[in-house]
Amino acid sequence: MKGQGLIKGLGITLKHFFQKEITEQYPDVMPELAPRFRGCLRFQFEKCIACGICVNNCPNDVLSFETEKSDKSKKKKLLSYSIDFQYCMFCNLCVEGCPTNCLYFDHDFELSSFEREDIKMIYLRPEGLDEAEDSQAEPEEQEDKEQKQIEAMLKALQKNPQKVLSRLLEGEEDINILSELIQSDQKTAGKIAELMIKDKEKALKVARGFINKEKKNRAQQEMDGGKGGDNDV
């Protein structure tokens, strides 16, 4: 019977009329990107050993760098590194070749700019890098040490929060509130532990933030509870 196909088509569109929309509201809601997503190519100056593999791997001459022969050591000294991003094909060949992982793609994909010159990214030698290299303080070891400290702190925090927090905060009430929070929420505990080791001032600020928020929450709950006729507090 002619016309059956037409009616079937109408049925399909009608079915979809009531289905959930699949639109991503992009600028308002950022898309979820896969971990491997290649957005903008970034460079870490400290890690680069100026081997030139990335430049050789690049199909499109995007990468270039300048070096200087150092007097003290045999190592070449990297002066600047530039990424002419307008020619990049996002093929990942430079990142795969890099022996020290100093090149990486981040998730920033909004790469348009008004000027052609803005696309080119030039990394200059950061000041103070020479001294850091000379002192030869192994940054990895330091990091490890810090990590251990943070872990220890976290344990202490969970075991006996009042005592640990009294080093940070003043006021009985605040300490109690925060310790309750820490025991109930792992994330908060981790954050505060990390900050207490790294930067005490910031830790104080963050802790105050948490306490104020919690206080507000409680006040809100009381209000709501009060309306319901619960006048215990």
Residue from 67, 82, 92, 183 binding another protein (CB under 8 A): 92
Q: Are strands 76-84 and 103-105 parallel, antiparallel or unpaired?
A: unpaired
Question: With binding defined as CB under 8 A, does residue 233 bind another protein?
Answer: no
Compare residues 54 and 211 and give the one whose CB is closer to another protein. 54
Residue from 26, 29, 35, 136 binding another protein (CB under 8 A): 35
Compare residues 81 and 105 and give the one whose CB is closer to another protein. 105
Compare residues 97 and 190 and give the one whose CB is closer to another protein. 97
Question: With binding defined as CB under 8 A, does residue 208 bind another protein?
Answer: no
Compute and round to an integer the Cα radius of gyration of the chain.
28
Residue from 41, 54, 58, 195 binding another protein (CB under 8 A): 58
Look up residue 202 and give its two tokens. Answer: 């910031």
Q: How many residues bind another protein (CB under 8 A)?
A: 38
Angle in degrees, CA 15, 20, 26, rounded to 5 = 135
Give CA–CA dist 47/56, Å, rounded: 18
Give CA–CA dist 188/195, Å, rounded: 11
Residues 97-126 that bind another protein (CB under 8 A): 105
166 torsion bin: left (phi>0), alpha (psi -120 to 50), beta (else): alpha
Residues 37-56 that bind another protein (CB under 8 A): 37-38
